[in-house]
Amino acid sequence: MSITTVRGSLPHGPVGTLLERLSVAVSVAGGFVLVAIMLIESASVIGRGLSRWLPVSGIAGDSEIVQIGCATAIFSFLPLCQLRRGNVFVDFFTKSMALKTRSFLDLLANLLFLALVCAIAWQLMLGMLDKFAHGDTTTILRIPESWPYLVCLASAVLLVATTLYTVARSVQEIRLDRQIGPLPTGDH
């Protein structure tokens, strides 16, 4: 592994470093949520299976826990994925293009993605405010629905910040005509 490969994978500047650390921490938390979901769902399935012979049952409301956990976990992975250029990227046609051309296409994709994630964050905020105002809860466990919205909104705000950073990174790549940050996923 060469020095340029190692340097190419590092975040660029203090903002990139901060976003990298925050995104990694949020992603690790999302991983723990997925492990917890797996354990809860496994215990529930085992409990339902043993209910024929033992006085045990599955976990009530396990589907609610899975829904909430999956939503929060998915949102927790998106910022790191965006920061590390891990989103869907079709480089079959662009691999042979000049760096400035690829960076320009990245810029267009990042701008489009920025519009999308801003809309998602806005809708999450509106949904969260509505859930807090009405006190909506899940059907079985009566978990307040507003809190998962808040967690997803926090990840979405981090995703917006990360996408703004990737837009700026693309602009800088065009201006400097050199790769900044991680290589596209297909080049690893």
pLDDT tens, position by position, 55-72: 878 888 999 999 999 999
Percent pLDDT > 90 in the chain is 65
* Rg of the chain taking only CA atoms, in angstroms: 21
In this prediction, residue 43 carries a pLDDT of 92
Band (pLDDT 50/70/90 cuts) for residue 171 is very high
One-letter amino acid at 21 equals R
Q: What percent of the chain has pLDDT over 70?
A: 88
Please list, in sequence order, all residues whose beta carbon lies within 8 angstroms of the beta carbon of residue 68, skipping any fewer than 6 positions away.
138, 143, 148
Model confidence over 107-129: pLDDT tens digits? 999 999 999 999 999 999 999 99
Task: Kindly list the distances between the CA atom of residue 85 and the CA atoms of 4, 91, 160, 169, in Å, as whole numbers in the listed order.
Answer: 17, 12, 14, 11
pLDDT at residue number 57: 83
- Looking at per-residue pLDDT, the higher value among 18 and 180 belongs to 18
> In terms of Cα–Cα distance, which of 122, 145, 119, 120 is closest to 132?
145
Q: Evaluate if residue 142 carries a pLDDT over 80.
A: yes
Count each helix (H run) and each strand (E run) in the chain, helices first: 5, 0
CA distances from 7 to 102, 168, 172 (A): 20, 19, 16
H or E stretch at 147: helix 146-176
Q: Note the pLDDT of residue 8.
A: 47
- Is the overall model pTM greater than 0.75, yes or no? yes
Q: Say yes or no to pLDDT of 10 above 60.
A: no
Contacts of 45 (CB under 8 A, 6+ apart): 58
Tell me which of 58-62, 130-134, 165-169 is least confident: 58-62
Type of residue numbered 146: S
For the chain, domain boundaries: 3-187
Predicted local distance difference test score (pLDDT) of residue 51: 78
CA 76 to CA 74: how far, in whole Å?
5
